[in-house]
Chains A and B, each alone.
Chain A
Amino acid sequence: MNAKLLRTYVLLGVTLFTSGSAFAQVELSGSYSIRMYEDYIERGPGSFLGDYTGMPLSDEGRAKALLYMSNLPSTIERQCLAQSPWVGQYRPLALRIWSEVDDGRVIAWVLAGDYLRDTIRIWMDGRPHPSPNAWHPPSGFSTGHWEGDTLVVRTTHVKTAWIRRGVGIPGSDRSEFSVLITRHENLLTITTIQEDPIYLTEPHVVSRVWEFDPNGSQGGNNRSTCNVGNELPTLEDTGKVPHYLPGQNPEEDYMVRNYNVPKEAALGNAYTLYPEYRKTLRGRYTPPTSCDRYCCGWIERQGLPGAAPGLTCNDGNLPRALRDALTNQK
């Protein structure tokens, strides 16, 4: 047997033994519509200032978040901080996913969507992550592999960012993400596990659902760019950085005042995320007497086109007189 023939047999054997893994994956390409049935207020109208519930913040993370003022994102230098890889977990984000193919082989999966600073390109060709000292691009750097129907992703080299919406919770450029992308029938689940040695005390885990939508937008609703421009003339070319001084954020107690949420939970301590914490609240927590704002907010505005028919609850957006008028019409 000559060497060429032997090589052929070896390659054939290796292929037969290993090629099974190629079957263990699913087609992800397509458009997906958001299902905002979790954390609607954050992803819809936006979080209340001072609401860090569910976050395992470090003291540094909490202190930095409390400096945040709502016009800070209008400064030119910070307009893209709200748009980082995987920030779609906290936004009203539709997704479009496609593969990039080289010679018939998928070398990358790409995720695009509004509210991303750049498309997320997940390299599937086995390339290593760059040096820790390499440039951190807007999309970070992601590699992936399949484990069954789950695309397992590792994202590094991200930029400094605000990781939750509208409240200034920071993420450092040392954050790294493990991401699990699973499709079951028409449902796409993305689970992100963020580790940040600066601003988090333990991994921050979030799981969200999208639904495959063959009629989903392929155009402007899926742009992945961050456009900057002067938003507040009073800030233009002034060098001013809006902020609260430490200890002077008037919204630090917002969740305590309005929802009776204990301050240690409102300000995002890891121990408040687990069942044993709830038991410490017996006798300390009483629900507010009524829901006054964003009570049925999975819709944009009740009584208006696109809204759920007939609902009369307070979504917090309509002036009371208009809401009452709509309610009375029914």
Chain B
Amino acid sequence: MNGSRAVTALMVVCLVLCSVEVRAQRRGGGQPAGPPATPRAAAPIDLTGQWVAIISEDWRWRMITPPKGDIVSIPLNLQGQQVAEGWDPAKDEAAGEQCKAYGAPGLMRGPIRMRISWADDSTLKVETDYGMQTRLLPFASSAATPAPARSWQGTTAAQWIIRGGGRGSQRYGSLKTITTNLRPGYLRKNGVPYSDRAVFTEFWDVHTLPNGDRYLVNTNVVEDPVYLQLPFETAIHYRLERDTSKWDPTPCDARF
């Protein structure tokens, strides 16, 4: 190896090492190796804040209660249709089940404002004024815990899907959540059902436009072997509100 080639090789090695070091520093490196970053510290996107649903799609089915038997758009099977046609809000009220349309798969497509915050370093919390519901989105834990009782919001496992961040580039990503252990509820206020075997998968993406507007897009799938023939796949969008004054908690209502 002549002198010039040796210098070149040395420079290449230096550049690579320097690059790695800078990347490490940008990711909070340079400190002694410790426990892995908490989900909160590792978050590639910021979901926190108050988000308002923009009801620009399916207005007649999301903003107001449609008539009984209106199951348009939803891939129900015959059993699902029969349950929907038997919808009786008075019966739900008498059973104390006026929140059946406020379970996670129905809640997210409702006319909601939601506040997302960190409950702790590994759990996101989603609160809605519509129905005054709280969803907890804990990141996967290796610890085996007994399944809690079924609930409107079910049991959720969350994980970050992280892209970029290598070689000094910006980190991006999204949140994926899978919710099970749901109490049977409604996909739509007029009694379109999902069963306790439903699995609700969501991908949460945040986008900031050049004018500063921030949108949250929730791409989601409801799979239900009892009442659906096919996965029910939709995307729902929300806009971040800097003015939080329109937060207006209201209890569940089986009719309106």
> Which residues of chain A have a CB within 8 Å of any CB of chain B?
1, 5, 8-9, 12-13, 16-21, 23-25, 35-41, 53-56, 147-150, 152, 178, 180, 182, 184, 187, 189, 191, 193, 203-209, 211, 259, 261, 265, 272-279, 281-282, 285, 287-291, 294-298, 308-314
Contact of A291 among B7, B67, B112 (CB under 8 A): B67
Chain A residues with Cβ below 8 Å from B172 are 24, 147-150
Query: How many CB-defined contacts (below 8 Å) exist between A and B?
Result: 236
Chain B residues with Cβ below 8 Å from A184 are 161, 174, 176, 203, 219
Which chain B residues (149-185) contact chain A, with CB distance < 8 Å? Answer: 161, 163-170, 172-174, 176
Known: A9-B15, A187-B221, A285-B64. A295 touches B69 (CB 8 A): yes
* B83 contacts A by Cβ under 8 Å: no
User: Contact at B219–A24, with CB atoms within 8 Å?
Assistant: no
7 contacts between A and B (CB under 8 A): A20-B169, A54-B59, A56-B56, A275-B52, A275-B246, A287-B65, A311-B78
Chain B residues with Cβ below 8 Å from A21 are 164, 169-170
User: Contact at B58–A39, with CB atoms within 8 Å?
Assistant: yes
Chain A residue, CB-CB nearest to B12 = A12
User: Contact at B81–A313, with CB atoms within 8 Å?
Assistant: yes
Contact of B57 among A9, A54, A180, A182 (CB under 8 A): A54
Contact digits for B37-57, partner A, Cβ 8 Å, 1 yes 0 no: 000000010000000111111
Tell me the minimal C-beta distance from B30 to chain A in angstroms: 17
B92-100, B119-127, B140-148, B226-234 - the one binding chain A:
B226-234
Tell me the minimal C-beta distance from B57 to chain A in angstroms: 5
Chain A residue, CB-CB nearest to B130 = A275
Chain A residues with Cβ below 8 Å from B4 are 5
User: Contact at A290–B68, with CB atoms within 8 Å?
Assistant: yes
Which chain B residues (93-115) contact chain A, with CB distance < 8 Å? Answer: 111-113
> Which residues of chain B have a CB within 8 Å of any CB of chain A?
4, 7-8, 11-12, 15-16, 19, 22-23, 44, 52-60, 63-78, 81, 85, 111-113, 129-130, 161, 163-170, 172-174, 176, 190, 203, 205, 207, 209, 213, 215, 217, 219, 221, 229, 232-237, 239, 246, 248, 250, 256
Known: A209-B233, A296-B71, A298-B75. A149 touches B59 (CB 8 A): no
Beyond A276-B248, A312-B78, list 17 extra A-B contacts (CB 8 Å): A13-B15, A13-B19, A20-B166, A21-B169, A25-B163, A149-B174, A187-B221, A191-B215, A205-B56, A274-B54, A276-B246, A278-B63, A278-B111, A285-B64, A290-B67, A311-B78, A313-B85
Cα distance A215–B85 when bound, in Å?
36
User: Contact at B55–A54, with CB atoms within 8 Å?
Assistant: yes
Contact of B173 among A20, A37, A148 (CB under 8 A): A148
Chain A residues with Cβ below 8 Å from B56 are 54-56, 204-206, 273
Chain A residue, CB-CB nearest to B23 = A20
Q: Which of A18, A152, A277, A296: most chain B CB closer than 10 A?
A: A296
User: Contact at B54–A205, with CB atoms within 8 Å?
Assistant: yes
User: Contact at A279–B250, with CB atoms within 8 Å?
Assistant: yes
Tell me the minimal C-beta distance from A193 to chain B in angstroms: 7
Cα distance A310–B165 when bound, in Å?
51
Chain B residue, CB-CB nearest to A287 = B67
Chain B residue, CB-CB nearest to A40 = B73
User: Contact at A275–B77, with CB atoms within 8 Å?
Assistant: no
